[in-house]
Structure 1
């Protein structure tokens, strides 16, 4: 007799994955395909929506086939996705009118600068800030730069969606145009308190309501896959943005529990309970999840470049052949030889929020080697996390440990250095695919495989806990050097920008 299983679609920034989990959170099948990154101008990042769709469909078919051969039956599908990335498509054809504008994209920095003169308090409404990172200005840019798009949008001929919404539309054959509260909370268009689209925000960003999807819970009915798409029709029962999905996968269901995910970027979320908590230290207030009629909120710190720094070492300056080499290289040197990398390739996120900053390297000498650069890249991820944790602590949140996940934390060196710099325990789970697992949990809750959140917490085993071993003196020196590098990076960006406007 077939065993119950759940399919998680994990559509990320650089690849599309499908993972089948057993009811006990064991990985039964997995398939992954990378897709093309486009950089048409400085600070611009785009994806081809058709390539996102084709890779997603392919990996789903592959994972389902493997699971079925192993004797498993898919009960429901959960979707998790790169957040803020924006697609606008024709409702009749389903075709995008422009490439997907990726969350890392900075092209709307000038739009944000102009809007800032209106002194709108976004934080009190959306929980976010005025930054190109979020979807609202990306939507406006597409409507204003594709011929006839704004008129078509106002007439109801176009649809907007973050990647979850685009995939739901395609999976259901255009029947369902919906998103969930976590993804909607990343657009700068949803009111955090009402969990509905906000008319004043729509007016501010000049986004017509006609393009917007319906907002549902994270665990909800998102329709059924269309006939002929997969081997059979499957219900879609859960949706969450990737970082909130990881919060669920890490079972951070009580206020004060903190997780940090290390993928292309790094995102730390701490559960703050059923009331939105406003940060005084440049952190974002966001929806953590909406399940069974209740919404939990989170404070988030967003780092734009984490694993992408390692990709730069590999693909940009070609000092490594593969990401795994960084661990071996870092271990060959006692320290970074004074080298500090500030990976502001797409600007700086929280708590600095400087869209004009660009990547910089300090402390180079003739003795600098690829090992020092590799170590500096890994260290930069830990220093950026320290900045986030420090902001959370200043907001009055006490954190005793941090639960980590994502591709980078398979590296023991990174986890240990993170514990040393943060001076708290770093806890790594056995199942490190927690983003996909969170999506599967949502689908499982909706179809009745799981009774409640307590059942999920009981099956979340720990792989290893890393404890701090660095001296306080060394920690202080390292953090001081990092802060000096960040300050210098921002000063350079400010000076360069002033020079361009003269």
Structure 2
């Protein structure tokens, strides 16, 4: 049998990666390209969607060219994408009306406050599984309609497209022939009813959006269209899997059974627990959502999203300039005094799950005369593990499932200090896989399965390093108590 190839595209917050897999699921090559983070003086975070599309074309062309493979043997594409980042574009011209609002951006807070004042919060959660928040695209789309010149007029004429990044990419790659999204992305818009599996007319009306103008929602293993990447391929290549990046990581980890849990450490973090084929609405600050739709069935998850985890390390390097490279973090953490009372609350744009406070400000608490750079870096690193532990504590209560282990992925998982501290805070094992790019792997493997190139034994090749809890119980209790006290204090101030 002649060799076939699958390309995984992971369009993330910081950049776009293209991953090349052979028909045995082995990653042969990776190319990536960052895009500009557009941040104004109000702290609003934006991306240029046209730049993202052009970068996607570039990395795929470079990947295939530099790998030296036969282009005709590329059989399919899987896409994983940063979720909640929201774009509107002109249905006639195909051009974006404005820069995309990034998931981190809280500029739509006033829209959510107005809806909250109308006592609609619980209704929204009961339909969508999501707590009302400017984090989600519904409020972002509403903001764009109100503030982008000409957007409302085009919406009234049904000349406007709404999409998360997957929909934007599919639309552009297919030359405007395909206007689709998958269950995992639709479920994160706060416009999709996760019980009826349709766009929710009532919720759409609350946010001022006509549901008829939203994209078609498909199973995650569907064919979303075909593309030749601006003429690079001589044949049309099917886009045969689409998943939000965190969902792709859950799938890539092989968390296909009820109770299996993963955490992605990226710019922010998504902690996700597979809860099976029936939804459970959270009572502890989490979201209920869809993991994916595969083989005609949907799988539900509980999820907690944290705004700033890996981005805290970027802040240390780029903004306060305490470090010149992320590689400095681990040795500084190990060097630091371990028994002080220093805590860092990374609320640069409020806090996500399970606190959901968009007004809280960040703070460094417990500074003494002995606090130095190493201690500050250690506190900033530990806040990542504390936040993830808080989310998993909430998941355990909601799902009534005891997590047996946590599978993790993302750049910060290379930090042995952080992984050990995470295991200590959870009092549970943490598994770090021997393969990176789990989001892109998940999407690529799903595309390969859908095309009949792979079967589910493909996940067996992913092996893991294991961290086990080592911290004494009394010290663990003390550290957790200190964190709970400072996070509660920060929230009560705002």
CA distance, structure 1, for counterparts of residue 484 and residue 180 of structure 2: 42
Query: Equivalent residue for 1:237?
Result: 240
Q: Does the aligned pair in 2 maintain the 1:177–1:214 contact within 8 Å? A: yes
Q: In structure 2, do the counterparts of structure 1 residues 217 and 336 end up closer, same or farther at CA, with 3 Å as the change threshold?
A: farther
Q: Structure 1 residue 72: deviation in Å?
A: 9.6
1:95 CA displacement = 1.2
- Are positions 1:166 and 2:168 aligned together? yes
Q: Which moved more, 1:388-397 or 1:239-248?
A: 388-397
CA–CA separation in structure 2 for the residues paired with 1:363 and 1:384? 18
In structure 2, do the counterparts of structure 1 residues 267 and 336 end up closer, same or farther at CA, with 3 Å as the change threshold?
A: farther
Call closer, same or farther: CA 1:28–1:20 in 2, change over 3 Å: same
1:322-333 map, 5 Å: 322-333=325-336
What SS is found at the alignment partner of 1:235?
strand
Q: Is residue 2:197 matched to residue 1:195?
A: yes
Match of 2:124 in 1: 122
Match of 2:261 among 258, 270, 290: 258
State which of 450, 457, 460 in structure 2 corresponds to 1:458: 460
Equivalence for 1:443: 447
Tell me if the contact between 1:336 and 1:375 (Cα under 8 Å) persists in the aligned partners: no
Once the two structures are TM-superposed, the CA of residue 205 in structure 1 deviates from its matched residue by 0.8
1:369 alignment partner, one of 367, 372, 376: 372
In 2, Cα distance between equivalents of 1:90 and 1:72: 33
CA distance in 2, matches of 1:93, 1:314: 41
Q: Does 1:383 align with 2:386?
A: yes
- Cα distance in 2, alignment partners of residues 385 and 479 from structure 1: 12
Q: Which residue of 2 aligns with 1:397?
A: 401
Structure 1 residues 72-121: Cα deviation after superposition (integer angstroms, max 9, x where no partner): 93211000111010000112222111110000110111111110122222
The residue that corresponds to 1:100 in the other structure is 100
SS in 2 for 1:458: helix
Residues 21 and 28, structure 2, Cα contact 8 Å, conserved in 1: yes
Moved more, 99-108 or 110-119: 110-119
* CA RMSD after TM alignment: 1.6
Aligned residue in 1 for 2:308? 305
| Correspondent of 2:297 among 289, 294, 298 | 294
Tell me the SS of whatever aligns to 1:279: coil
For structure 2, which runs of at least 5 residues remain unmatched after alignment?
Answer: none
Cα distance in 1, alignment partners of residues 101 and 384 from structure 2:
25
2:286 and 2:303 in contact (8 A); partners too: yes
Q: Where do 5+ consecutive residues of structure 1 fail to align?
A: 495-502
- Matched with 1:497 is none
Distance 1:290 1:476 in 2: 40
Matches of 2:229 and 2:321, distance apart in 1: 46
Partners of 2:76 and 2:392 in 1: CA distance: 36
Aligned equivalent of 1:426? 430
**Counterparts of 1:114 and 1:228, CA distance in 2:** 44
Contact 1:171 1:229 in 2 (8 A): no
Q: Deviations over 1:351-374 (max 9, x none)?
A: 100011122111223322221111
Cα distance in 2, alignment partners of residues 368 and 398 from structure 1: 37
Quickly say closer, same or farther: Cα 1:336–1:101, change in 2 above 3 A: farther
d(CA) in 2 for partners of 1:76, 1:356: 44
Distance change (3 Å), C-alpha of 1:280 and 1:226: same
Deviations 1:53-82 (A, max 9, x none): 121111111112233449993211000111
Q: 1:25-424 counterparts in 2 under 5 A? A: 25-69=25-69, 73-120=73-120, 121-226=123-228, 228-232=230-234, 233-335=236-338, 337-395=340-398, 396-424=400-428
SS at match of 1:426: strand
Q: Displacement of 1:148 after TM fit?
A: 2.4
Determine the C-alpha separation between the residues in 1 that align with 2:324 and 2:56.
27
Say which SS state the counterpart of residue 39 (structure 2) adopts.
coil
TM-score by length of 1: 0.95
Q: CA deviation at 1:412?
A: 1.5
Q: Which residue of 1 aligns with 2:485?
A: 484
> What TM-score results when the alignment is normalised by the length of structure 2?
0.96
| Distance (Å, rounded) in 1 between the aligned partners of 2:372 and 2:142 | 45
Distance 1:22 1:301 in 2: 34
Query: Residues 111, 431 of structure 1: CA spacing in aligned structure 2 closer, same or farther, 3 A cutoff?
Result: same
Identify the range of structure 1 (226-235 vs 299-308) with the bigger mean alpha-carbon deviation: 226-235
Deviation at 1:2, TM superposition (A): 5.3
- Measured in 2, the distance between the counterparts of 1:256 and 1:58 equals 39
2:268–2:308: 8 Å Cα contact kept in structure 1?
yes
Q: Which residue of 1 aligns with 2:19?
A: 19
Decide whether the 8 Å contact of 1:155 with 1:210 is kept in 2.
Answer: no
Contact 1:106/1:355 (8 A) holds in 2: yes
Cα displacement (A) at 1:123: 1.9
Whole-Å separation in 2 of the counterparts to 1:254 and 1:474: 34
